Copies of this chain bind each other. A is one copy, B any other.
Amino acid sequence: MREYNVAVVGATGAVGTKMIEMLETSSLPIKHIKLLASKRSAGKEKTFKGETVVIEELTADSFEGVDIALFSAGGSISQKFAPEAVKRGAVVVDNTSAFRMTEGVPLVVPEVNEEALKEHRGIIANPNCSTIQMVVALEPIRKKYGLDRVIVSTYQAVSGAGVSAIEELKQQARDMLDGKTEVTAEILPSAGDKKHYPLAFNALPQIDLFTEDGYTFEEHKMINETKKIMSDDAIKVSATCVRVPVLSGHSESVYIELKEAGATVKSLQEILSQAPGIVLEDDPAEQLYPQALTAVGKKETFVGRIRQDLDVETGFHMWVVSDNLLKGASWNSVQIAESLHKLNLVHVNQ
């Protein structure tokens, strides 16, 4: 059996750390793992399957001999180094937004559009965390009843903004619990924006920067990526993306309108209970519904609170939760690598 040299770019980040964990549990046959990060982190050590691995500084030549490179070190790093990796024969699975909407770059959630991998020319994009869990939940329903419309409001965890944002939230929470009236906010809602606000005991309706039309980039990501992954530009998608003081685990209040009539809460529950990557947690009588705290550390997408709209027959509401660092990022990337292996696509046809 073929074995792969795998590189993780951004090995010390919140997602990179989880990528290493997910690779440890993966069925992907790994010959050698290379952990890459900035100069600052080079020389630090991590363990992989019990072995110590020294982190190396990322350079273009790091990818010599690498078969699969998982990137999660920010969009500008991917822009610069993903083509270098491909040039050296590696297939790149990129977890940043750098190439997601680029034509010719498959945007893949294996449960939804694994087949799109066949078109890859070296780079495969991993969708945005909040998009992934939503399309996992909606695709089985779409297959059966068609999907006319999606309106989603998100409750996103801070870990999507990185390790330092997690620490910022924790420090703010500690300070507020200690009765301090002024707390430090230097990162959230978006490190790249001008103003910063406390997230502790707050809800911030801004993730990423604003665009001209008043939507944020995060909201546009959910809208555009959903259409690309489902290969259907006609689906109406609308999103309001909100950061809440949760460490890990994105929750989503999702409203859908189906193309065809005939769906019931029961039929949707049945479809979802048999769908790949989904755990149905939907029993109001037992107060069973997905929660961020119970989803953390798990690879699946959890769906519950499915109910029919009271006015629109084809309208349904649901609550979708997943670990944004796992299915929303690292696990989906590793799944893509597994699919590439399964479909014998770990080679670059430029």
Contacts and interface: CB of A to CB of B under 8 A. Distances in A.
A307 B214 contact: yes
Contact of A319 (B198, B205, B286, B310): B205
B289 A206 contact: yes
B242 A203 contact: no
A350 interface: no
Nearest to A214: B307
Interface in A207-225: 210, 213-215, 223
A204 B149 CA distance: 25
A1 interface: no
Interface stretch (A11-19, A35-43, A55-63, A246-254): A246-254
Bin the interface of chain A by size.
35 or more
Interface stretch (A26-34, A92-100, A189-197): A189-197
Contacts of A253: 153, 205, 240, 242, 253
Given A194-B287, A206-B289, 13 more contacts: A153-B153, A155-B155, A173-B177, A174-B177, A189-B287, A195-B287, A201-B246, A203-B292, A205-B290, A215-B307, A215-B310, A240-B253, A245-B246
